Structure 1
Amino acid sequence: MIATTRIDESSLHYRGWRVVLACFLMAFFMFGFGLYGQGVYLAELQRAHGWPGTLVSAASTFSFLLTSVLVIFTDDLLARMGLRSLILCGLSALGASTVLLALMQTPWQLYLAYALMSIGWTGMGTVVIATLLNSWFERRRGLALSLAFNGATCGGIVLVPLLLSVSASIGFRSAMLVATLAMLVLVLPVVVIFIGWPAQMSPAAGGRFTADGQAARTSRRTLLSNPAFWTMVLPIAIALLAQMGFIIHQVTFLEPLIGRAAAGLAVTIMAAMAVVGRLSLGLLVDRLDPRLACAVSMTSQGAALFVLLQSTSPTVLLACCAIYGFSIGNMITFPPLIIQREIGFAAFAAAMGLGTSISGIISAFGPGIVGLVRSFTGSYTTAFALCVMLDLVAASVVLWRPGKRLEDSPTLSPSP
């Protein structure tokens, strides 16, 4: 049980909401620079240096894979460095990465920049945000996570267009330096002032203690042998694989049917609905079964894709993208809710790190699989039908409810 149980979490005076604001800003810049901004870097670096697209895109793949490895060790870093120090390290690494992207002259600097970005993900990404908010909220945990993770979507909606607009006015180099300065001015004070564990929380993110007074945490081996962990991780990873495949190929699929302008509008609608969906879920999810809500979200995405394949009507296609987008953001909100309920607090950071790593690696193949199937078949029909099947399989698996809470198990042991 977290330390905030007897506190009114609905009150705006509750300190946890200031922590949510800090997490929103962290997600805004981390996802804005680290995910959505990579399309901008690809175009601008090719234009500035004449580097082939394969070189830049390979650096992106390298960054995502390195991130998937580093997040496994988030619980160890939290225990050894402390929460605020880890976040400040991530902020510094992300700032160094964006400055280097602005000033780089040689390809090896690109890979260094993207390696620093991976360190930024470790210090400011979903695992740290979810672990932090999990410690501050119990009754309003779903709403807090939804509000904070909306910063990720807003980073794509706001930061990327701003980067493009400012780059057109003052150049890419100056735009990146200005955006980096804005990040430091906005994020650094709120991290220093607001970020911290609740007063009675263990600084090692554990909350349970062994006989010698050290925080008890859970070994990764114990997590990997826990069915509840796998019935959460695998369906989320499968659904994200299908989701990434559709998102990356969405414009290419829609443009021949409804034109470039309408295809761009479809992307905007989908992103806007992701914000609406996450806020809607946040208001209700604390009263819902997170596994059932997750299965409904996966099924709705599969249904939207199925209808999208049957129609050429612009109205229907845009409506399908809106329905699909409603559940996009929630795929990173459900795992922490399921983990806290079924795996427990002592294992939370370790489970989030492992789960994020596994999901990240598996979902990274989504765009490639969709593209490969399209190349073999000559159209997106079979590729997106595969995505529909994956969504339905994921929805079925996530409804399986094995075992008792890992936290209730006597197998708790220090994490290796």
Structure 2
Amino acid sequence: MIAATSVDESSLHYRGWRVVLACFLMAFFMFGFGLYGQGVYLAELQRAHGWPGTLVSAASTFSFLLTSVLVIFTDDLLARIGLRSLILCGLSALGASTVLLALMQTPWQLYLAYALMAVGWTGMGTVVIATVLNSWFDRRRGLALSLAFNGATCGGIVLVPLLLSLTASIGFRSAMLAATTVMVLLVLPVVVGFIGWPAGLPLASGERPAGGGTPAPAHSRKALLANAAFWTMVLPIAIALLAQMGFIVHQVTFLEPLIGRASAGLAVTIMAAMAVVGRLSLGLFVDRLDPRLACAASMTSQAAALFVLLQSTSPTALLVCCAVYGFSIGNMITFPPLIIQREIGSAAFAAAMGLGTSISGVVSAFGPGIVGLVRSLTGNYTTAFAMCVALDLIAASIVLWRPGRRAKLAAS
């Protein structure tokens, strides 16, 4: 069940917008520390301890794979401990992870820190954010998701340069401890004060309301795996994210010989900035669009940008292509909750988001490796990025396929 449609979701006084603010801050720190910050950890831990890059990068892979397993059980955790408790557990785990990264001395502590980061993703990541916003919004759901998920991109744009600047001035240990303190001081009050389910509505995935009552029944993952609408959403998103992760990781390596290091760095900045613009632009209109058509258009635009990128050596053209590509980057995590709500339903929302995020996370984790392997075998990025173009077009075709019979899972 979604938020009651009798309220004015466009009003700034609607409590749901305070929930959006809380979700924005959660995404800001979770993605800032848990995704974009990993490049900082790689460099600083190698410098501080002399550990090989393979050790630290293997810990990153371990963390992402563990995250993909844990998020499957998000709906079960919501039912057992409740929404606010799950988020506070995630915040505690992320904070413990970043503190341990600052203080660690041995490799086993590195893997413990990254395991705690995976727990943080479970409590503060995309599945929880999408689930809580799905319960608060109906007519403005797309805008709410876009605004909240912009916190993820802003985490990369703001937090990573801040960590690098603080590390240069006060050292890595002090920088991490200071940033962790700021995170707790900002996120803890808004989670306690703003986060919760809308009053008077059935709760997601069996969570029991504070005043008692009967929880909504959870839905089996087996039923979701047999649902055609689920697969025609998950599979194309996973394929598109595989191509996207492959390009993002190899972008600088591809561009640097063509336009130089400084311009390659500018291309990354432009792409990240356009991801924010793209989310905001889509958020203004997506609630009036067919999410499958909009998703296919985004995938096709990425394919077109990559295709032109391969044909050009002009610095201006290459930067424009990166801008076009970036415009739809962030929306790849906005479309799944919109499609799930429309075609699978609220009763199975958390379970479908958890399972779908897990599948796409595992598949997309291979993107950088596959692109790197094809590049090594062919000696250039032409074939590798052409493969990404083909994958995007295949994904766009699959997401347009609609099951003839809507298998919407409803609460019994």
TM-score, structure 2 length as denominator? 0.97
Which residue of the partner structure matches residue 248 of structure 2?
Answer: 247
Q: Offset of 1:216 from its aligned partner?
A: 1.8
Q: Give 1:239 shift.
A: 0.2
Written as runs of structure 1 = structure 2, the 5 A alignment for 1:37-48 is 37-48=37-48
Q: Closer, same or farther in 2 for the Cα pair 1:344/1:206, shift >3 Å?
A: farther
Q: Measure, in 2, the Cα distance between the counterparts of 1:99 and 1:317.
A: 40
What is the count of residue pairs matched by the alignment?
Answer: 409
Mapped partners of 1:21, 1:363: distance in 2: 28
Q: How far apart, CA to CA, are the structure 2 residues paired with 1:304 and 1:3?
A: 38
Q: CA deviation at 1:174?
A: 0.1
| Aligned match of 2:401 | 400
* Residue identity opposite 1:360 in structure 2: G
Give structure 1 stretches of 5+ with no counterpart: none
2:32 is equivalent to residue 36 of structure 1: no
Alpha-carbon contact 1:133-1:145 (below 8 Å) kept: yes
Report the Cα distance in structure 1 between the residues aligned to 2:216 and 2:303, rounded to whole angstroms: 42
Out of 288-297 and 215-224, give the one that drifted further.
215-224
1:226-265 map, 5 Å: 226-265=227-266
Give how far 1:2 is off.
Answer: 2.0
Which residue in the other structure is 1:123 paired with?
Answer: 123
Q: For residues 111 and 21 of structure 2, what CA distance do their matches in structure 1 show? A: 31
Q: Deviations over 1:222-256 (max 9, x none)?
A: 00000000000000000000000000000000000
Q: CA contact under 8 A between 2:208 and 2:214: conserved in structure 1?
A: no
Give yes or no for contact 1:82–1:203 (8 Å, CA) kept in 2.
Answer: no
Instruction: Describe the superposition over 1:344-371 as per-residue Cα deviations: whole angstroms up to 9, x where unpaired.
Output: 0001000000000000000000000000
Which amino acid in the other structure matches residue 378 of structure 2? T
**Residue identity in the other structure for 1:98:** T
Counterpart CA distance in 2 for 1:206 and 1:336 is 19
Shift, 1:215, TM fit: 1.3
Shift of 1:205: 4.1
Change (3 A) 1:207 1:200: farther
Distance 2:207 2:52 in 1: 50
Residue equivalent to 1:49: 49
- Residue type of the alignment partner of 2:120: G
Equivalent residue, structure 2, for 1:278? 279
Gaps of 5+ in 2: none
CA contact (8 A) 1:83 1:203 kept: no
Amino acid paired to 1:344: G
Given that 1:344 and 1:407 are in contact with CA atoms closer than 8 Å, whether structure 2 keeps it comes out as: yes
1:207 Cα deviation (Å)?
A: 9.3
Q: Name 1:266's counterpart in structure 2.
A: 267
- 2:206–2:215: 8 Å Cα contact kept in structure 1? no
| Aligned residue type for 1:19 | V
**Aligned partners of 1:208 and 1:216 also within 8 Å:** no
- Cα contact 1:3–1:200 (8 A) shared by 2: no
Contact kept? 1:346, 1:407, Cα under 8 Å: no
Question: Once the two structures are superposed, what CA deviation does each residue of 1:18-67 show, in whole Å capped at 9, x if it has no partner?
Answer: 00000000000000000000000000000000000000000000000000
Distance in structure 1 (CA, Å) of the matches to 2:234 and 2:365: 15
Distance across 2 between alignment mates of 1:14 and 1:205: 24
Task: Name the counterpart of 1:196.
Answer: 196
Q: Is the 8 A contact 2:205 2:351 kept in 1?
A: no
Q: How far did 1:200 drift?
A: 1.4
Contact 2:3–2:138 (CA under 8 A) maintained in structure 1: no
Whole-angstrom CA distance in 2 between matches of 1:204 and 1:348: 7
d(CA) in 1 for partners of 2:313, 2:107? 43
* Distance in 1, Cα, partners of 2:207 & 2:96: 34
Which residue number in structure 1 is paired with residue 151 of structure 2?
A: 151
Query: Structure 1, residues 253-286: CA drift from partner, whole Å, max 9, x if none?
Result: 0000000000000000000000000000000000
CA distance in 1, matches of 2:301, 2:73: 34
The alignment partner of 1:217 has SS state of coil
Alpha-carbon distance in 2 for matches of 1:128, 1:198: 15
Match of 1:16 in 2: 16
- Asked if the contact 1:163–1:176 (Cα under 8 Å) also holds between the matched residues in 2, the reply is yes
Let me know the Cα RMSD of the aligned residues: 1.5
1:407 offset after TM fit, Å?
A: 3.7
Distance 1:207 1:11, change over 3 A: farther
- 1:107-118 equivalent positions in 2, closer than 5 A: 107-118=107-118
1:189 aligned partner, one-letter code: P
How far residue 404 of structure 1 moved from its aligned partner, in angstroms, is 4.3
8 Å contact from structure 1 (residues 342, 404) kept in 2: no
Mapping for residues 315-326 of structure 1, pairs under 5 Å:
315-326=316-327
Which secondary structure state, in structure 2, belongs to the residue aligned with residue 222 of structure 1? helix
Shift of 1:203: 3.8
Q: Which amino acid aligns with 2:60?
A: S
The 3-state SS of whatever aligns with 2:8 is coil
Contact 2:207 2:215 in 1 (8 A): no
Write the distance in 1 (CA, Å) between the matches of 2:408 and 2:84: 26
Q: How does 1:71-90 map to 2 (within 5 A)?
A: 71-90=71-90
Taking structure 1 as the reference length, what is the TM-score of the superposition?
0.96
Query: In structure 2, do the counterparts of structure 1 residues 407 and 207 end up closer, same or farther at CA, with 3 Å as the change threshold?
Result: farther
Separation in 2, partners of 1:113, 1:223: 32
